[in-house]
Structure 1
Amino acid sequence: MAAALPLAACTQRPRLLDVAWLGPDPTRAHQLREAPPQGPARERRADVLVLGAGVAGLSAARALRAAGREVTVLELDDAAGGNSRATELGGLPCPMGAHYLPQPGANLSELQDLLVEFGVAERRFGRWQAKDGHTVHAPAERRFDGREWQAGLLPPAANAAGAAEQRRFARLVREAQQRAGFALPTHRVTFGSAHRQLDAQTFDAWLDAEQLTEPGLRWYLDYCCRDDYGAGSGVVSAWAGLHYFASRHGFQAPDEDEGGDPAPPPFTAPQGNGWLTERLAEPLRREGHLLMARVGLSLFEEREGVELLCWTPEGLERWSARDLVLATPLFVAQRIWRNPPAALQSLRLPRAPWLVANLLLDGPPLERAGHSLAWDNVAQGSALLGYVNAQHQRLDPRPGPQVWTLYWALPQGQRPALLNETATHWAERVLQHLLPLHPDLRERLQQVRLTRWGHAMAVPAPGVRGQAALEALRSHRSRVRLAHADLAGYSVFEEAFMAGLAAAAR
């Protein structure tokens, strides 16, 4: 016994993880699967209703208010922002979803104006530019190659032939832009025959046909597709794969002199894109025109207005309004709109489930060799998309508590497991991927908060973008206007914001 006492004193039980779900309540949303509840409903009226307080709904409400309309926004969740929401862990802000916004080009002057209004950009002598301090600080990105951390995400080519493939892909992106045209938002370029040929095949099939097989390039392109579309290059269309680069700042090989300047750093904040949605929502919240925990159950469009039946924790509400902006995912619109246009009924959009994990650490863990902690940290070959250091923008070199936000775009077949498995189960799966990179992470870990987005975004698989139904719905005119990034066939902030403006204008 005496011999065993020192050993017992040094042995500690593993500390239980503090794990919990955070964010949207799936049981509330899944009421849409059931028959609408019966019973008396409180009668309520509005000039314009906006159903959905994500980016598109908040954008539409902002534009309508500026035009003098009286707007009431109804939101299913307990907070506005959709998948651009934010939260806090240990008093530190962090994103629950989207975490950056690329700098908009001149063709997105409306978004440029918003950023000027929010004080993070300015126009000087007619030229728009981002202000220092609001875009990602260096070091922006690093990649773990299996041995150590390397700067940047695109792996360098192993030989001259591989480098030539990277340069050739850059040239093909430029040629596609010149020949077919790509833009944000997508509807500003006519979807022509060249786009349809690309939309009919997977990105992998197109890359194979172009004999672009260099392993580092193929991993990077697959990663980019998973990051923006929630599915890899073997799932999304060649149109989507090229659109990722050609609609923004192109693709530049590391040793390439042509093709213009590298992409400017994106906008970000510790709370991710929550800093944008919080500002969009604040005027509505302050004036009492943003109502939470409202589940739209049944929508009827009538000759003189619209009628919407809503569930609330206090009972049913029946809203009457002159007009309504339906700023929900299109699969939700299909469930609740009782007399919809034929195009909505025929639309098919596959959707990607996502898991976002926020990890509160009491200090930085041990690092592998190579480049130090960056804003975006990615392990090459991992199923995960990597993690963002939410405190990176503070520029504080002193070690202290940190929040890492980890992103995982899951295959569609894992949606039931995302719903039914416990938070602890998913936290352990996350740690299985991170512990090889940071062996002492579990000792540093204080809390894990998980957010599940079961239907996070539309996936632009082959044939999705070219559906005639999408074009018909974008131009649909009635008392119900659709506003969602789904109208572009995929989900990014720019598309959602412009969809809201378009719905308000109609």
Structure 2
Amino acid sequence: MQRREFLGAAAGALALPGCGPTQPILGGFAGVNVERGHAWRDHAGSDAGPPAVVRRTRVVIAGGGVAGLAAARASRLAGVEDVVLLELEDQPGGNSRGGQVAGIACPLGAHYLPVPGDEAHEVQDLLEELGLRRRVAGRWEYEERHLCHSPQERLFFQGAWQDGLLPMQGVSPRTLAQYQRFSGRVEALRREARFTMPVLRAGLAAPLLNLDALPFTTWLDREGLDDPQLRWYLDYCCRDDYGAGLAQVSAWAGIHYFASRHGFHAPGDDSAERDAVLTWPEGNGWLTQRLAAPLGERFRPAHAVLRIAETRHGVEVDAFDVAARSRVRWQAERCIVALPVFIAARVVENPPDFLREAAASLHHAPWLVANVHVREPLADRPGAAPSWDNVVYGTRGLGYVDARHQALDPTPRATVLSWYRPLGPSAYDGPDGRRRLLDRPWSAWRDELLAELSEPHPDLPALATRIEITRYGHAMAIPAPGVLARLGARERIRAGRLAFAHSDWSGYSVFEEAFTRGHLAAG
């Protein structure tokens, strides 16, 4: 893991009223080598001269995120072992990497996986392979140690913690009525059209395309759903899954968040079955490490892909080996391009029209994850008990998850809190999120985190010892109006000897989409 540490009083804790004594907080940027990515962007490897070495393999996979790892697994299951996977970073996993702070495992990105539905059978097969689910008496059961323990989530709202994330304490009858109306509309739309994950199995029925053509806010206005608490919650959900606010994503994306998984549970709907999620201290890094393990030395970290070209007899993939500071050429029968579309369009020689069009039409949200080590449990405000996912109403961040929530040992001790901060366009952030993500010093993000979480936890600045911040300049695709129509229906995306696999081709970024597309690309 690359780190830059800043010590001393200048990197110390933020002094907040009523927080008690402060102490220096160590920390810095970690997890993703932003400078390496920018060097690739600026063609730093292009002056390395001709390839220093030429190697041969059967399949090259460009990109070691979830899609690339899924493609490697599918190749192995098909008996194709002669595969090499090239990844820019030092670790595989993309947005699903894990790390450690002060010896405590924590997520550097995605931190959970909902129990997949029937349409995501490739993901179900993976979970079975990893021992996470099994058939018992004709029914599928999931390994309880890996299912999120209760209590799962709570919201700090009007000065106290409440169960669940939908604002409930002291809300008006009108608010409750709008919750019920939105729940009814979600269920009606679920009956009218297929909302599936992965989206490529939904088809492009007229109801879905009609929703895809509208901003989510426009659809809510038409439905008369204008309650501030409902709008806050829906905006939170869009920023959580898509990195941008409900004014920027399509109505299809806003409905899909609920209809493809668990529905929308209005108050009093006790008959509805709540969805289960799988989670680990290191988040989805638990999954990606197990996907990468069979590759061994065929996983090549710190290799920046510079060029992908078809030849008369196969493909050539040039990569810049960061450690050796030289260009390496791989000759192969074919290449699986498991890169974000904007990168693929740069490195694929003579890119096909559909790739150029996708790169031009898709925009990505920046994202930040801050892992905070606290030396002892925080004092808590009244209300619901400490949970795995803890959200503060009306803030720019998405709250935090507790890395020790799954621990079987109940002894109170130090832990790591993972705070999530989307920076795509929303009511909280303008269009310059990426610039602010990269230009602000880590101490500015530290101060924002401490100010936000000190509302429910005034003792946080005094108990925090270290904060490590991971930045993603292009974390996730934003499903803006029209994205489903342009991208979502494509199942297998090929051009000659190149197969394309990334969650971008679904128009938004979640594990199920990336994994399925990687699996299919290797077919």
The normalised TM-score by structure 2 is: 0.90
Matched with 1:77 is 89
Aligned to 1:163: 176
Contact preservation (8 Å) 2:204, 2:489: no
Please tell me whether the aligned partners of residues 75 and 293 of structure 1 are also in contact (alpha carbons under 8 angstroms). yes
**1:369-402 deviation digits (Å, cap 9, x = unpaired):** 2222110000011110000001000143322111
Q: Equivalences for 1:132-211 in 2 at 5 Å? A: 132-156=144-168, 158-211=171-224
What is the alpha-carbon distance in structure 2 between the residues aligned to residue 482 and residue 101 of structure 1? 23
SS at match of 2:119: helix
Can you list the C-alpha shifts for 1:243-296, whole angstroms capped at 9, x where unaligned?
Answer: 111111211212136xx63232200011111110011011112xx111100000
- Show the counterpart of 2:54: 43
Q: Separation in 1 of the partners of 2:415 and 2:473?
A: 27
- 8 Å Cα contact 2:493-2:521 kept in structure 1: no
Counterpart residue identity of residue 481, structure 2: P
Partner of residue 317 from structure 1, selected from 315, 321, 328: 328
Paired residue secondary structure (2:56): strand
Question: Match of 2:427?
Answer: none
Name the counterpart of 2:23: 15
Higher mean displacement: 104-113 or 481-490: 104-113
Local SS of the residue matching 1:394:
coil
Which amino acid counterpart does residue 237 of structure 1 have in structure 2?
S
Aligned to 1:8: none
Q: How many residues align?
A: 489
CA drift of 1:14 comes to 4.8
SS at match of 2:47: coil
Assess if the C-alpha contact under 8 Å between 1:116 and 1:123 holds in 2: no
- Return the alpha-carbon distance in structure 1 between the equivalents of residues 492 and 76 of structure 2: 22
Aligned equivalents of 2:107, 2:475: Cα separation in 1: 15
Q: 1:178 to 1:489 in 2, by over 3 A?
A: same
Deviation track 1:427-483 (CA, whole Å, cap 9, x = no partner) reads 12211211222111111111100000110000001122221x665684434211111
Structure 2 residues without counterparts, runs of 5 or longer: 1-19, 425-430
1:220 shift after superposition = 1.2
2:356 corresponds in structure 1 to: 345
Q: Look up the SS of the partner of 2:494 in the other structure.
A: coil
Q: CA shift at 1:19, angstroms?
A: 1.2
1:465 aligned counterpart, secondary structure: helix
Whether the aligned pair in 2 keeps the contact of 1:362 and 1:446 (CA below 8 Å) is: yes
SS at match of 1:115: helix
Match of 2:393 among 360, 372, 380: 380
SS at match of 1:177: helix
Map of 2:13 onto structure 1: none
Q: Partners of 1:76 and 1:373 in 2: how far apart?
A: 38
- 2:283 is the counterpart of 1:264: no
Q: 4+ residue stretches of structure 1 with deviation over 3 A? A: 469-475
2:450 is the counterpart of 1:431: yes
Which of these residues, 62, 86, 94, is aligned with residue 73 of structure 2? 62
Unaligned regions of 5+ residues in structure 1, if any?
Answer: 1-11
Q: How far off its partner does 1:37 sit? A: 2.3
Q: Distance in 2 between matches of 1:131 and 1:19?
A: 36
- Residue 26 in 1 paired to residue 38 in 2? no
Counterparts of 1:303 and 1:360, CA distance in 2:
55
Paired residue for 2:497, among 472, 479, 493?
479
Q: Would you say 1:398 and 2:411 are equivalent positions?
A: yes
Q: SS state of the match for residue 292, structure 2?
A: helix
Query: Which AA in structure 2 matches 1:459?
Result: I
Is residue 2:457 matched to residue 1:449?
no
Q: Deviations over 1:319-347 (max 9, x none)?
A: 11111111111111011111221111112
Cα deviation digits, residues 30-84 of structure 1 (max 9, x gap): 2333342241312111110111111110001001011111211111000111110
**1:50 and 1:61 in contact (8 A); partners too:** yes
Answer whether contact 1:473 1:482 (CA < 8 A) is retained: no
SS at match of 2:244: coil
Partner of 1:440: 459
Q: Which amino acid aligns with 1:295?
A: A
Verify the 8 A CA contact 1:299 1:309 in the aligned structure 2. yes
- Residue identity matched to 1:317: V
User: TM-score, normalised to structure 1's length?
Assistant: 0.93
User: For residues 129 and 218 of structure 1, what CA distance do their matches in structure 2 show?
Assistant: 36
